[in-house]
Amino acid sequence: MPERVVTNGDLAEVMDTSDEWIKTRTGIERRHIAEENQATAAMAIEAARAALAVADADPREVDLVIVGTATPDTCMPSTACLVQNALGASRAGALDLNAGCSGFVYALAMGHQAIASGEHELVMVVGADTMSRIVNQQDRSTAVIFGDGAGAVLLRASEGTAGIRATALGSDGSGGDLLMVPAGGSAMPACAETVAQGLHYLAMDGRQVYRFASRTVPRVIEQVLEKAKMSLDEVDLIIPHQANLRIMEAVAKRLHLPDEKFYANIDEYGNTSAASVPIALCEAVDKEYVAPGQKIVLVGFGAGLTWAAVALEWGPSVQEISAVFYRRWLRWVVYRYADMHTRWMRFVRSNGGRAWRSARGQWDRLRHRDSGSE
């Protein structure tokens, strides 16, 4: 999470809103906002490195990096490539996945399939978004809701019942206009006019999104449980996308479940889009809400419209962070090497590199001429 915290009170000083309105309508009290020099990749890299530390894994063994995000650092290249590079995950493929706020749960399902197919062993799945960059900070209907952050999990192939049991994905493009950034894509490239009209900002029909979420989320939870052959009673914890506390309460009511079954930390972070589910999962693990053998459902929904759920059984407890010193040291070396390698490759591909290569070529030619004349 970025360190900078913006409270409801801070927002009330700059726009026509109040702590009371925000808290009662959404459950949000604070949100963390990225610094100006911090974008999605920076947070995603920190989260991914933390996941590698918890799993005590070697970054060079990662096969695939998937970053669920709707706010990549740039349209091209993908944020996942920046993460792959910073991790020194030299043999990994990398791609971004944009399914709005469902991005992480979608990415988790994809990562699971990549392992289940036998193609990959170790998959890094990240959910990361810097919503503050696409939200109009003068628009009270969206500015109060969103925050920034990143979370990551490392999936590993394993035997036994623990792990991901089933996934369910859905989409309804007819609702694409309910939550969208109109400009900046190929349909309406960003230009002075689109900026003047604020079309590069997120536009949201809050009421419609609220209605969609409270109807769809219970359905996808039931669907994934049916696929996993689990009953609702067996579920120990549901970790939903943190969009609005009232949506979570409405879903709990529809499923006849107590609110306590739903993990909520929206008060602290607001809606961090694709990052919200992994952040909540990691926090639930840290707070020991999650224990081996427990059945957990992760559920996301958002722009697209999209929705997704994953049913899983939690495996043996997570190791102490960096249990083995030498592997912690190894990761440090890999990260430093990755950084130096990037600088070196950029130099080699630059004019400086071309000059260096041509000087070396001349030197080689001179040497060969001299040795020939001898």
Which residues have a catalytic role annotated?
Answer: 101, 241, 271
144 binds ligand COA, rule: CB under 6 A: yes
E strands in the chain:
5-7, 30-32, 64-68, 93-97, 122-130, 148-156, 163-171, 179-180, 203-204, 237-240, 295-302, 306-313
Distance CA 77, CA 62 (A): 20
Count, in order, helices (H) and strands (E) of the chain: 13, 12
Per CB under 6 A, which of residues 222..261 are in contact with ligand COA?
A: 243-244
- Shorter beta-carbon distance to ligand COA: residue 141 or 350: 141
Q: Residue from 218, 240, 278, 302 that binds ligand COA (CB under 6 A)?
A: 302
Sites for ligand COA among residues 81-110 (CB under 6 A): 101
327 lies in the site for ligand COA, by CB under 6 A: no
State the Cα–Cα distance between residues 338 and 98, nearest whole angstrom.
26
- Return the residues of window 176-215 that contact ligand COA according to CB under 6 A: 204, 206-207, 209-210
For the bound state, the minimum distance from the C-beta of residue 243 to ligand COA, rounded and expressed in Å, comes to: 3
Which of 4, 5, 7, 17 contacts ligand COA by CB under 6 A?
A: 17
Residue 99 CB, shortest distance to ligand COA, in Å, is: 11
Asked whether position 21 contacts ligand COA by CB under 6 A, the answer is yes
Instruction: Provide the mask over 260-289, with x wherever binding to ligand COA is found by CB under 6 A and - wherever it is not.
Output: -----------x------------------
Distance between CA 318 and CA 292 in Å, rounded? 9
Q: Is 145 helix (H, G, I), strand (E, B) or coil?
A: coil
Among 4, 25, 60, 156, which residue interacts with ligand COA (rule: CB under 6 A)?
A: 25
Beta-bridged to residue 59, according to DSSP, are: none
3-class DSSP state for residue 299? strand
Phi, psi for 305 (deg, rounded to 5):
-70, 150
* Footprint on this chain of ligand COA (rule: CB under 6 A): 17, 21-22, 25-26, 101, 140-141, 144, 204, 206-207, 209-210, 243-244, 271, 302
